[in-house]
Structures are given as C-alpha cells and as structure tokens.
Amino acid sequence: MSFDDPPVSSHQSTPPMTPQYSAYNQYQSSRTSHLGTSNTNKGTASDPFGPDSDSCEHYGASSTSPIEDTNQETLPRSSIPPTPLPRAQIAILQFLLLTEPVSGFVIYPFVTKLVVELGITNGNKSTVGYYVGFIESLFYVAQGLTVLQWGRFSDSLGRRPVILLGIFGLAFSLLAFGFTTTTTSSTSENFSPWASFGWVVFSRSLAGFLDGNVGVLKTMMAELTDESNRARAFGLLSSTWVIGSTIAPLMGGALEHPAERFPAVFGPKRTRIWVTYPYLLPCLAASIFCFIMAVVGYVFLKETRAFIYSPPSKMTRSDYEPIPQDSFIERNDPTTPLLGRKPTKNKQSLREVLIRPVLISILNYGCLAILEISYFSIMTVFFAVPISSGGLGFSPPLIGVIFSTLGLVSGFVQLFLFPAIHKKFGAKRVLQLSVASFLVVFPMFVTMHLAAQLNQSTSTITKDSTGGGEAKGILVWIGIMCLVCINSLIDMGYGK
C-alpha cells in the first residue's frame, strides 16, 4: 500500500476467509437484516470483528464458504452448545470464595455473648443490640468504602494479587479479632473494657478494608466464561456460599470458650491462652482456613487473559489484529506524525457505567441487602439475649446450629427449587416475593418472644450461664422452622 492510496476499510476489502470470520459474517448479516441497519460489524483495534468477536465461533457456523454468501440460514443462539467451562480455575475460585462466608459468619453465634462479657453495657442487656449491630456493620461499611478502589487496583495490577492480598487480610484480621480479652477472662488489674472494645472495632474494620474479593472474584469468573456458559458458572457460586454459611456458624458456636467446654484438652491445667482469649479458637480455625486458601490460590490460581503479557516474538497468528483505519497517515495532513496516532484506551468512567437500568438493579440489590443485614443482626441478638430482655436465651452452640440450618435449607432451595420458580414467575416476581417476606419475618420475632414468655416455667426453661433462660416451648420451635423457610424465600432475591 502506498501513502497516495486511500486507507482500505474493512468494508472495501475481502478479509481472509477463515472459519471464524465466515461464521461471524453470517451472524452479522442476519443481525443487520433484523435490525435494519448497516455497518454493524465495525471493529476496533482491540475488537476487530465487532462487539461479539470473542464468542463469534459459537454462533453455529463453521463453514468456509465466501463471505458474500450470506443467505445461508444460521442456527439460533439457543440451539448452540455452550462452551465447556474451565473447571479447574472455576473450582479454585470457588475454594477462594469460601473465605468470604467463613470469615463473616464465624462470629455470629458468639458476638452477643462477647459484647456482654466485654462489660461495656454495665449489666444493661437492653443495650447489647446496639453494640452487636455496630460490630456486625463495621465490616460492610469498611468494605463499601474500599471495594471500588480494590476493583481499580485489580484492573491495573491484575485480579490474582488483589485476591490473594484480600484473603491474607481476612486471615490476619480474624486472628486479631480472636485476641480479644473480656472482663471474665482478663487477669490484668488494668483491664479496660473500652480498650478491648476498640480492639474489636479495629480488627473487624480491618477485615472490611482489606477485603474487596467479592467483586474481584466475580469479575474473574466473568472473564473466564462467555455468554454461553456464564450463567452456569455463576450458579455454582451459590453452592459455595451454602457450604461456607453452613460450616462457619458450627465452627463459631462449637469452639468458643474451649477451656470451659473441653477442659481436658483446652483447660487451664494445660495452658491459659484459651482462658485469657476465650474466642481465639474459632477465629484461629477460620484464620488457618483462609491462610490455606491463600496458599492454594498462590499455587494454582492463574491470572486472567487480560493481564498476561506476551512478547511480540512469541505471538501467534491469532494474536495479530488488523490495523485500525485511523492509524494510517493522512495524505493531506502535514501535521500527522509519521508513527500515526497513539491508540487511546477504551476506559469507561463511573458515570458512563451508571446508566438507568444499572442504577435500578443496584438500588434493588442495595435495598434487599439492607433489609437482610438488618434481619440477620436482629436475629443474632434475638437468639442470644435472655427472655427477660426480649430474646430467647439460646447458647452459642445452639445458635450455630440454627444458622447452619438456615444456610443448608436455603442452599437446597437455591440449587433445586429456585430454577423452576424463576422460570415460572420471572425475576421481577421472585424479587417482589423476596422483599415481601420481610413483612412476615420481622413480626415473627415478636411472636416467638411472646411464645417463649407463655412457656416460661421450670419445665420448659433450662437455666444457662447467662443468667437467663433458654426457651424450649414447641411454639418457639415452630416459629424457628417457619423462619428457616422464609429465609429461603429471602435468599431467592439474590438468585438473578
């Protein structure tokens, strides 16, 4: 090509008739006739075949016929087999995602008891809920302040280092949370309840600041898939969350105060560390789990294609791209540099991304999340405080079993019942049902407490170490069973 000739566009020349290009041209021809537009296959330097070039081979055309033969009928999208999932990398992402529910749910069974033992309420158990809600919200507030920054870091540094740093941050913050002393465990005469509470605030906030992995892990999942298999890949994430939300409460409820519960193994005759730090063991177990997952990610997790550097000498034929039209020297423009224009990065700003449909989805998700976090915070306090203070007086191990049951039943519904429900009623109706469930679940706390008061007698109440009573009336357990079922309806709101 000489500089006196005009630039040759993609519409004036016949590109190489590869199977991929032929398939794409057939798809674009049918797409153009359907939309009534032209020039729909304009490419860019980073996407030479158009917006769907990465998945054009899945549109069912494998012919090598010339591109002018565009009258051949193409297969509909629904009849094309999905691309096989990269199972190894997706399995590793699932393992890494387990750190999120494990680190979040492990404190739920004992956080109310921890606040009472810190001594910051001065014996006023009616104020316990304020501090429990504050502690539980710290993680989400801190994460909300930094999640966009972690996303930007992953865009420039890569997904893998950000994910590994987040998991190491969770492991460290959980270990720090475990080294919390209480009024009943401290042997120091200078023990300060508020200093210990400050340590809880610091460690819980640190977990949120260092962890932006929920968004980055999902982004990496999207980059490992395409339109044909992405829904199936994201469906696997629900099973991961079920496993984590089932194991973590059991771990937290069973391992708190090990010196009292398992004196033969963790008693003061062997070591006093479990007496001084009664919540160290569950946090240590969760921290070790996160550390193991970080090692697994470091060894096996591969960076996504966008961040793999390939030297020019090792490029294959498929790595070459057509030269964009604006990179040619313009004949009558003496100011055009000889090296052509520097390509600009197609980087969208936050304002460009937040279009109306996206904003509506974010608002719906945010409202559902606020309601569910509030519901979980109330439930955590309600199960733990005595009946005389408005709760049920359950012990941490029993609370752990209840939370694990919530996760297990919800996971079963998500995996086996949700697809049929979603297909029958649609995403909008399912979301409406999920939000409407809160109109039932919040009054149920009052109903269960009244049932516990009606059954409060020596035959239905067993005294525990908190000084209150543990409700055992049949009406209370019927209410808890209903709560488990309604919780499954709430979680369906996150299904799509």
| Cα 491 to Cα 401: distance, rounded to the nearest angstrom | 19
| Cα-based distances in Å from 490 to 20, 74, 401, 484 | 44, 41, 19, 10
Sign of torsion, CA 55 59 64 66? negative
463 φ, ψ (degrees, to nearest 5): -70, 145
Strand partners, 469: 463
| Cα 17 to Cα 67: distance, rounded to the nearest angstrom | 7
Residues in CB range of 38: below 8 A, 6 or more apart = 32
Nearest residue to 50 (alpha-carbon basis) of 40, 37, 36, 60:
40
| Cα 387 to Cα 380: distance, rounded to the nearest angstrom | 14
Taking a C-beta distance cutoff of 8 angstroms, is the pair 290, 174 a contact? yes
| Cα 117 to Cα 134: distance, rounded to the nearest angstrom | 16
Strand partners, 461: 471
457 burial via Cβ count (<10 Å: 0-12, 13-18, 19+):
exposed
| Cα 45 to Cα 126: distance, rounded to the nearest angstrom | 64
Reading the chain (496 residues) residue by residue, the pLDDT tens digits are 444 444 444 444 444 444 444 444 444 444 444 444 444 444 433 343 344 434 333 333 333 333 344 444 455 555 678 889 899 999 999 999 999 999 999 999 999 999 999 999 988 888 899 999 999 999 989 999 999 899 999 999 999 999 999 999 999 999 999 999 998 887 777 889 999 999 999 999 999 999 989 889 989 999 999 888 887 888 788 788 889 999 999 999 999 999 999 999 998 888 899 999 999 999 999 999 999 999 999 999 999 855 554 444 444 444 445 545 444 444 444 444 444 444 445 566 777 778 888 899 889 989 998 999 899 999 999 999 999 888 999 999 999 999 999 999 998 898 888 888 888 998 899 999 999 999 999 999 999 999 998 887 544 444 444 445 677 788 999 999 999 999 999 988 886 5
| Cα 113 to Cα 253: distance, rounded to the nearest angstrom | 11
Helix residue ranges, H only, 413-437:
418-436
DSSP string for residues in 100-155: HHHHHHTTTTTHHHHHHHHTTTTT-GGGHHHHHHHHHHHHHHHHHHHHHHHHHHHH
For residue 83, the 8-state DSSP code is P
Helix residue ranges, H only, 262-395:
263-266, 273-276, 280-300, 350-353, 356-384
| Cα 263 to Cα 274: distance, rounded to the nearest angstrom | 10
For residue 256, the 8-state DSSP code is S
CB atoms within 10 A of CB 195: 11
| Cα 489 to Cα 491: distance, rounded to the nearest angstrom | 6
- Structural domains in the chain, sorted by start: 88-306 (1.20.1250.20), 356-496 (no CATH)
What confidence score (pLDDT) does residue 54 get? 40
Taking a C-beta distance cutoff of 8 angstroms, is the pair 245, 101 a contact? yes
| Cα-based distances in Å from 255 to 13, 158, 203 | 71, 37, 19
Q: pTM for the whole thing?
A: 0.73
Nearest residue to 214 (alpha-carbon basis) of 88, 353, 104, 91:
104
